[in-house]
A and B are shown apart, each in its own frame.
Chain A
């Protein structure tokens, strides 16, 4: 009797409930999990097979085949029947059988009122109706994601009606994720009202996450008005996060004048460094060079040198690695050169090593060549270096570099 009960339980558990962990609380090993699923009865396995065939037909865009397979699964009324009805409606919509798709969605609603697919089915319903030119009604949907789809659809047919609904979502208590999606929908509307609302959200600090996103979008507008708007916001705001977001927006839009001015005049050293970084990322090499010449701050100059690495400005870095009077800045330039792995920077480093007598500079060059994993240059230096301490340092560095030249040299030394 006990054995029969256990056997029945083992066979029916996967069929009765998808959440098998409720039946097997101590189920940890994948092997036991696989074993249990292999005991599924034939009917369930057939359903799985037809369901998978339907999905494969969808993936290869054979809509009619997919509809047939999903119909078979739906008719069996098994565990995947609700999903099968959704996918059947999906295939019908893609095959432009709109009426059939809407009818299948209706069937899904009636037969499985608590299905997890209902929300997606509602979104599909709106999409199909929009394709048929039927106006959406955002107010009719309680689900906010669905409401957004309805607003999105309405924006195309009647922007003036959609706009208040969108404004309501953005100003309401929805989650940040929903509001961010609403903001995206807003930007896809070309009306002046949409643009104005975007600017209002960018200036509103009550929802910082949404504000950051709006600032980013305003930066993408690419107009003088948008740039002035962001400049004004930068000067008015006391929030460092907002200011950083604005600097990033200017970088994305390639507007370097504001970045250069901020790098020169901003009082906050961290924001100044951020402006320098964004200037480099926007490709403002000439501006950085101009700034380096005019700056009196070692901190700023150091930030500029690091930024020159970001823009891979080997020529300027090489020049500073040779000529900079401040020893600390010179070493920073050498290190930045080491982070750029190209022939120009390698040649520059080797030439500095040969021409400079300062051991600190030579040591920095060895370190930079190690950063480049430049085994050949390190071996050449080790061969020609007369100073035993520097030679030892070159060998130490090359021991961490994987290259044929290094291996050959090491074998040669060991012999």
Chain B
């Protein structure tokens, strides 16, 4: 009967109800009874109902922490939430920083090191160029300068590549000019003939190399200070 009331009856039960008066009458009574129950309206609890119930229950719960309801008011809750977010972001950043370990070398720091090393290199190159420019022909001409020239040529190559990589084309070009002179001195295995020496001195003079080296060195020091 209950199944029939809820519409879950089978086809056979439906046929039986059509022919059996008793059963139809019982179903009608059941419908009346259950229908009357549905008509009762469930009352809505008042606003303090939940608090009252929770207050009664929370005392009985073992070890439960009581939250001050004031904490959940927007004026208190919003700044607290913001604080928690800030802490979470900071912690995240710290974790990222830790995972990367030491920070890398910044482009500015790289430029400072390049300028400092380049300035020192140009100082030493200037001394060598002065020595070449004033050398007198003879069997020992520039003999002592060769080792220095070799060292400077190797250093020059690294600095030229670094300058070009940093986009400093003009200094890269100066270092290229300088490198040719350094290599000429470094690779001279015997003595410079008077003609060779004079030609080398002429090349330094015609390119204005000594002047360019001095000016570039001054510029570098100024730029290094700015950095």
Contacts and interface: CB of A to CB of B under 8 A. Distances in A.
Contacts of A24: 139
Contacts of B13: none
A172 interface: no
Given A187-B110, A192-B101, A222-B106, A127 B189 contact: no
Interface of B: 100-110, 112-114, 116-117, 136-140, 151, 153-155, 157-158, 161-162, 165, 176-177, 180, 183-184, 187-191, 193-196, 199, 203, 206-207
B196 A48 contact: yes
Interface of A: 14, 17-21, 24, 27-30, 33-34, 37, 40, 48, 52, 55-56, 58-59, 83, 86, 90, 94, 116-117, 120, 123, 127, 145, 148-149, 152-153, 156, 177, 181, 184-185, 187-192, 194-196, 198-199, 216-217, 220-223, 225
A190 B166 CA distance: 13
A148 B110 contact: no
A181 B154 CA distance: 9
28 contacts: A17-B190, A19-B190, A20-B191, A24-B139, A34-B194, A37-B193, A56-B203, A59-B177, A59-B206, A86-B183, A117-B187, A120-B183, A123-B157, A149-B161, A152-B161, A181-B154, A184-B113, A188-B110, A189-B105, A190-B110, A191-B104, A192-B100, A192-B101, A192-B103, A195-B105, A220-B116, A221-B105, A225-B102
A18 B191 contact: yes
Q: Taking chain B's interface residues, is the majority helix, strand, or loop, or is none over half, making it mixed?
A: helix
Contacts of A198: 105
A120 B153 contact: yes
B20 to A, nearest CB: 90
A30 B138 contact: yes
A116 B100 contact: no
A153 B162 CA distance: 10
Given A149-B161, A187-B105, A192-B100, 10 more contacts: A28-B138, A30-B138, A37-B137, A55-B180, A59-B177, A127-B157, A148-B158, A184-B113, A217-B113, A223-B109
Instruction: List 10 tightest A-B contacts by C-beta distance, closest first.
Output: A18-B190, A220-B112, A19-B190, A187-B113, A21-B139, A190-B104, A30-B138, A37-B193, A196-B102, A145-B154
B207 A221 contact: no
A195 B116 contact: no
A156 B165 contact: yes
A28 to B, nearest CB: 8
